[in-house]
Structure 1
Amino acid sequence: MKRICSIYRSPKRAGMYLYVLKSDGLERVPEGLVSVFGKPVHAFDLVLTPERKLQQEDIHQVLENLDKQGYHLQMPPAEDEYIEHLPEELLRRNDPM
């Protein structure tokens, strides 16, 4: 199952992306979601297959959501995860090696 997908980024929230089938565009995305997401800004198009790896999302869930509801919403990582790793990153930057 190969899907050609358009990915849009949210102008309101960094790290929030909306995946839609390129053939459908934004027509299947609920109006309420668009109002929260903001006016979608096209980021890029991508061919999705079950074998493809995505950095932050489960490809099978993305494909299922595209088939069932016509879109997939990628939320930004939780801030807690960022804060949890921040001290570790700072230590690496300050390490004189």
Structure 2
Amino acid sequence: MKALLVFCNVPDRAQAERIAQALVAGRLAACVNILAPCRSVYRWEGKVESADEIPLIIKTTDDAYPQLEQQLRALHPYQVPEIVACDIVVGLPDYLTWVGGQVFSRE
């Protein structure tokens, strides 16, 4: 089992709460941090845009990632949501074991 951090921005607090609850209740994530609003600047359809967004930090496993990505895409209001995953290379072993125990396993 490899633990992952998944980053995803959503447009508002209500969406953040709804997505976090669904991912944890569905055992696709051990924990979701809902961060303070931030301002995102990006290029979309040939124009520079900006928007206030709520960042999510999602703790999951590589085994659960495909289902997590599918669920995020289904719940997310954006046409192309930001979904970026990074391996957790080092961390407190007890915490990483806890993450693995909270997320479903296909085994």
What's the TM-score once normalised by structure 1's chain length? 0.37
Say which structure, 1 or 2, has more relative contact order (CA 8 Å, 6+ apart): 2
Bigger strand fraction:
2
